[in-house]
């Protein structure tokens, strides 16, 4: 169903944040009637809340990125349509009320321009992968970091990351089940920085392949531990073979931080 085709409804662009730990991912998992659910998706929680503002009728939604199970978001963007009578503050507050106690919240709601699509209108996406690099177990950051006790060389990781920036065939860094038509992507940014015992990997591109960032993080870990060199990373990229790169990092440390648009629907008026 086209969100903009609903008569008597306004299409809303929503800025969302959520803790991905309790969810099976963004995407709703449709199943045959009578089949037991195996988990809750962020999309299902949002759409169930929206239906309560739509007289119980289903409300389809579209998102900028289909985050996997366990992956978090500080800047996910979605689109859905609700009855015209609602104001922006009512949309935000009512959706948040009905989504409670799930760990997902609408930060902002603004009317969307005709034809705007959170996925296809996006010009950039920025993710942050966080590594807690210490021996003591995580407490406050539990579920939001990949903890690695062995000391990592962030400078070496940054040098290797530079080999991956640009337009490349990223077959070695995408999931074997990735359904993207092409493995070619332009990686605009891949920065590795350390602050005390935290290492952050920031990746930015127009779009990413399935598991691409987690596979990049798993490979850079090998460099940080001294097991791989920057040349090894270049060789893995050139191999165009998933088996040639490092392991897939866990989802806990990954967060969708920002989705860019021009014009930005959430920019101050």
Query: Catalytic site residue 68?
Result: yes
Per the listing, tokens 């591109």 go with 205
Q: Cα–Cα distance between 141 and 240 in angstroms, integer? A: 35
In this structure, the chain runs to a length of 269
Residues paired with 78 in a beta bridge: 14, 63
- What is the Cα–Cα distance from 183 to 194, expressed in whole angstroms? 30
Bridge partners for 125 per DSSP: 205, 259
**Distance between CA 237 and CA 174 in Å, rounded?**
11
At residue 11's C-alpha, the angle toward residues 8 and 14, to 5°, is 145
Please give the structure tokens belonging to residue 141.
Answer: 């950051």
The residues facing 60 across adjacent strands are: none
User: What residues have CB less than 8 Å from 112, skipping those under 6 apart?
Assistant: 3, 4, 11, 12, 13, 79, 265
CA-closest candidate to residue 160, choices 250, 255, 235: 235
Q: Which of 19, 30, 68, 169 is catalytic?
A: 68
User: Catalytic residue positions?
Assistant: 68
């Amino acid at each position: 169903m086209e969100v903009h085709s609903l008569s008597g409804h306004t299409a809303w662009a929503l800025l969302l944040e959520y803790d991905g730990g309790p969810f099976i991912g963004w995407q709703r998992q449709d199943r045959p009637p009578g089949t037991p659910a195996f988990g809750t998706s962020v999309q299902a929680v949002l759409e169930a809340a929206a239906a309560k503002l739509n007289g119980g009728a289903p409300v389809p939604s579209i998102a900028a990125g289909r985050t996997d199970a366990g992956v978090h978001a500080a800047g996910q963007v979605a689109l859905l349509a609700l009855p015209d009578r609602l104001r922006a503050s009512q949309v935000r507050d009512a959706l948040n009320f009905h989504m409670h106690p799930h760990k997902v919240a609408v930060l902002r709601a603004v009317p969307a321009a005709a034809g705007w699509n959170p996925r296809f209108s996006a010009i950039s996406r920025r993710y942050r992968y966080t590594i807690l690099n210490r021996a003591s177990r995580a407490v406050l950051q539990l579920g939001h970091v990949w903890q690695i006790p062995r000391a990592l060389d962030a400078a070496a990781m940054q040098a290797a990351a530079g080999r991956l920036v640009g337009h490349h065939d990223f077959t070695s860094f995408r999931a074997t089940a990735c359904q993207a038509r092409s493995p070619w992507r332009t990686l605009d940014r891949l920065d590795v920085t350390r602050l005390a015992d935290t290492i952050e990997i920031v990746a930015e591109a127009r779009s990413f392949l399935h598991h691409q960032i987690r596979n990049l993080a798993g490979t850079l870990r090998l460099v940080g531990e001294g097991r791989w060199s920057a040349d090894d990373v270049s060789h893995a990229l050139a191999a165009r073979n998933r088996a040639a790169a490092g392991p897939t990092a866990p989802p806990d440390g990954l967060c969708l931080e920002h989705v860019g648009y021009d014009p930005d629907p959430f920019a101050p008026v």
